[in-house]
Amino acid sequence: MSHRPFILVMSALKKTVMNATKGDSTKLNIVLVHGMWFDACSWSKVIPILQDAGHKVIAVELPLHSVEDDVATVKRAIDLIGGPLIVVAHAYGGFVITNAAYNNPNVKGLVYVAAPAPMEGQSMSTTVPKEYDSLPKEFEGKSLLVLDNGGFAYINPTLFHYFLAHDVDEAEANILAVVQEPGNLTGIVNEKSGPPAWKQVPTWYQVSENDRAIPPAVERMFAKQMNATTISLPSSHASLISHPNEIAQLILNATKGISNWKTYVKKI
Query: Quick one: pLDDT band at residue 17, thresholds 50, 70, 90?
Result: very low
Least confident of 68-72, 135-139, 229-233: 135-139
| pLDDT(118) > 60 | yes
221 in Cβ contact with 126 (< 8 Å) = no
Tell me if 246 is assigned to some domain. yes
Which helix (H) or strand (E) segment holds residue 15: the answer is helix 4-22
Query: Quick one: pLDDT band at residue 19, thresholds 50, 70, 90?
Result: very low
CA distances from 186 to 93, 100, 123, 177 (A): 17, 20, 12, 22
- In one-letter notation, the amino acid at residue 40 is A
- In one-letter notation, the amino acid at residue 132 is Y
Which helix (H) or strand (E) segment holds residue 85: the answer is strand 85-90
CA distances from 10 to 17, 20, 21, 22, 172 (A): 10, 15, 17, 18, 41
Query: Quick one: pLDDT band at residue 264, thresholds 50, 70, 90?
Result: low
Number of domains making up the chain: 1
| pLDDT(138) > 70 | no
88 in Cβ contact with 32 (< 8 Å) = yes
**Residue 114: DSSP 8-state:** S
From the list 242, 112, 234, the residue with the least C-alpha distance to 176 is 242
Taking only the tens place, the pLDDT of each residue in 24-72 is: 656 899 999 999 999 999 999 999 999 999 999 999 999 999 999 999 9
Tell me if 21 is assigned to some domain. no
Average pLDDT over residues 182-186: 93
Model pTM score: 0.87
Structural domain span for residue 181:
27-256
CATH number at residue 175: 3.40.50.1820
Tell me if 122 is assigned to some domain. yes
Percentage of residues of the chain with pLDDT beyond 90: 76
Taking only the tens place, the pLDDT of each residue in 147-174 is: 999 999 999 999 999 999 999 999 999 9
Tell me if 207 is assigned to some domain. yes
How many whole angstroms separate alpha carbon 242 and alpha carbon 226?
25
Phi, psi of 25 (to 5 degrees): -70, -10
Tell me if 1 is assigned to some domain. no
Tell me if 146 is assigned to some domain. yes
Tell me if 18 is assigned to some domain. no
Residues in a beta bridge with 110: 87, 203
Contacts of 267 (CB under 8 A, 6+ apart): 227
Per-residue buried b or exposed e for 160-195, using 16+ beta carbons within 10 Å of the residue's own CB: bbbbbbbbbeeeebeebbeebbbbbbebbbebebbe
How many whole angstroms separate alpha carbon 8 and alpha carbon 11?
5
**Residue 207: DSSP 8-state:** E
Tell me if 20 is assigned to some domain. no
